[in-house]
Chain A
Amino acid sequence: MASDIKHWANRFKTASDSDATIGAMAKYFTCSYMWDMEDAKVIVEMHDGKVKSINTDPAPLDAYDFALRASAASWREFGRPVPRPHFHGIWSASFRQDLKLEGNILVLMQNLRNFTVQFELLRKVGVPV
């Protein structure tokens, strides 16, 4: 599992750093966020549009700006090439499924365009749960 999640992190970093849509407006995409997938947690730190680090084994006091928390089953739905209705985005899943948006939501809103594009990379990269 530890190896799997590190491989996933490498694939996600490569996908994100090479994504043209993110690259087109990357200059101020700087923030950190946690994805809590029930059976795995990661903290992604972004700096100027690039993945600076992905912490695949967060300690209790490791900091981040905001978090997305949902069941492993929901994350597997997010990672399908074509997600089913209401698993196809963070708004739909928070309105109709079990996704919770926590922490400093203002930072999420400040980076919403690029974060939304990045979240959809899961459809190509998959999820580590």
Chain B
Amino acid sequence: MARHSPVTGRYVTIEVDGLEYKVFYLHNGQGTPLLCQHTAGAHNHQWRGLLEDEEITKDYNVIAYDLARHGKSDPPLNVEWWKSEYKLTADHYVNFIVALADALELDDPIFMGSSFGGNVALQLALRRPDRFRAVIPVEAADYAPGFFLDWWHHPHANAAQVCASGVWDLMAPQSPEMDRWLTWHYYTQGSEAFKGDLYFYSVDHDLRADLDRIDARRCPVVMMTGTYDYLTPPEATENTARQIKGGIYIEMTDIGHFPMSENYPLFRVYLKEALRIIRERTGG
């Protein structure tokens, strides 16, 4: 008897700003759509624990996609993408997520992302509060400078290992060794996209002057950050949440920048609380 996972994968073709993408996503569950974005330079396997969480998938349709150029989602199929440097912008990133949600006909979804996925969650709350039931920005802040580095692409170093070991201590030393090395493994696979992702994360994403225009009473914003995250430290997230009308901040103890991937059993404790708050605020 084959030991199949309940998680299944599919491709969907979408058009974003004139670019055609064939997007790969994993999904499992039923109920409220919970759309999940991986971190920069990674892919949807970071959500492997959530995708197989029977308690959560009983009430939530968990969808974890690979952003274009990551995992099994190719670069755009209708342009010669190799002739220009990849630099992800906030505009394109937001349009991609909305186009994907539309293509999948997601009704009032919750969006959750970590790191550069957390930062785009804030962008969605600002730009498209009409399209999402709520957002959960994980390891996010209004501004996150300092990681758009040439080292990720240096031709004299092993880019896969520089990216993977360069993010190693974004994780907490208490997180299980197997899960930290799996996260390391994912990071060896995405070095070409990593730097371009970080253009959004550290350069194009800057909401310092816009937080007062986010209304979490309309689209709840529940921010969560781990105490071992040095890139977006807890005080940066807390300071961001405090400036959002109705924003909520949850501090996650003894976990780092990749909580869903480095220590899912601990992360799910905080995630369940975030989902409870959203149910309470949205009535469903």
Task: Check A106–B172 contact: CB distance below 8 A.
Answer: no
Say yes or no: is A110 at the interface (Cβ < 8 Å to chain B): yes
Q: Which residue of B lies closest to A80 (CB)?
A: B173
* Given known A82-B173, A96-B230, A109-B151, contact A89–B168 (CB-CB < 8 A): yes
* Given known A95-B146, A95-B231, A96-B230, contact A89–B169 (CB-CB < 8 A): yes
Q: Which residue of B lies closest to A95 (CB)?
A: B230
Task: Check A112–B228 contact: CB distance below 8 A.
Answer: no
Q: Which of B227-264 contact A (CB under 8 A)?
A: 227-228, 230-231, 233
Q: Which residue of B lies closest to A97 (CB)?
A: B230
Say yes or no: is A60 at the interface (Cβ < 8 Å to chain B): no
Task: Check A110–B158 contact: CB distance below 8 A.
Answer: yes
Task: Check A113–B164 contact: CB distance below 8 A.
Answer: yes
* Given known A95-B146, A106-B154, contact A112–B165 (CB-CB < 8 A): yes
Task: Check B230–A92 contact: CB distance below 8 A.
Answer: yes
Q: Which of A81-108 contact B (CB under 8 A)?
A: 82-83, 85-86, 88-92, 95-96, 105-106
Task: Check A86–B166 contact: CB distance below 8 A.
Answer: no
Q: Which chain B positions have C-beta within 8 A of A82?
A: 173-174
Q: Which chain A positions have C-beta within 8 A of B266?
A: none
Task: Check B169–A91 contact: CB distance below 8 A.
Answer: yes
**Which residues on B are within 8 Å of A, measured CB to CB?**
146, 151, 154, 156-158, 161-162, 164-166, 168-170, 172-174, 227-228, 230-231, 233
In the complex, how many angstroms separate the beta carbon of A109 from the nearest chain B beta carbon?
4
Say yes or no: is A14 at the interface (Cβ < 8 Å to chain B): no
Of A92, A105, A106, A113, which contacts B169 at CB under 8 A?
A92
Task: Check A112–B146 contact: CB distance below 8 A.
Answer: no
Task: Check A106–B156 contact: CB distance below 8 A.
Answer: yes
A85 to B252, CA, bound (A): 12
Task: Check A109–B233 contact: CB distance below 8 A.
Answer: no
Q: Which residue of B lies closest to A120 (CB)?
A: B173
Q: Which chain A positions have C-beta within 8 A of B169?
A: 88-92, 116
A90 to B161, CA, bound (A): 15
Task: Check B158–A91 contact: CB distance below 8 A.
Answer: no
User: Given known contacts A95-B146, A95-B230, what 4 new A-B pairs fall within 8 Å (CB)?
Assistant: A85-B228, A92-B228, A109-B154, A109-B162
Of B157, B227, B230, which contacts A106 at CB under 8 A?
B157
CB-defined A-B contacts under 8 Å, sample of 28: A82-B174, A83-B173, A85-B172, A86-B230, A86-B233, A88-B169, A88-B172, A88-B173, A89-B169, A91-B170, A91-B230, A92-B228, A92-B230, A95-B146, A95-B230, A96-B233, A105-B151, A106-B154, A106-B156, A109-B151, A110-B157, A110-B158, A112-B166, A113-B158, A113-B164, A113-B165, A116-B168, A123-B173
Q: Which residue of A lies closest to B169 (CB)?
A: A89
Task: Check A116–B165 contact: CB distance below 8 A.
Answer: yes
In the complex, how many angstroms separate the beta carbon of A97 from the nearest chain B beta carbon?
9
In the complex, how many angstroms separate the beta carbon of A11 from the nearest chain B beta carbon?
20
Please name the 10 residue pairs, one residue from A and one from B, whose CB atoms are nearest each other, closest first. A89-B169, A92-B230, A109-B157, A112-B165, A113-B161, A113-B165, A116-B165, A85-B228, A110-B157, A92-B169
A86 to B231, CA, bound (A): 10
In the complex, how many angstroms separate the beta carbon of A68 from the nearest chain B beta carbon?
13
Task: Check B162–A112 contact: CB distance below 8 A.
Answer: yes
- 1/0 per residue, CB under 8 A from B, across A110-127: the answer is 101100100010010000
A85 to B174, CA, bound (A): 11
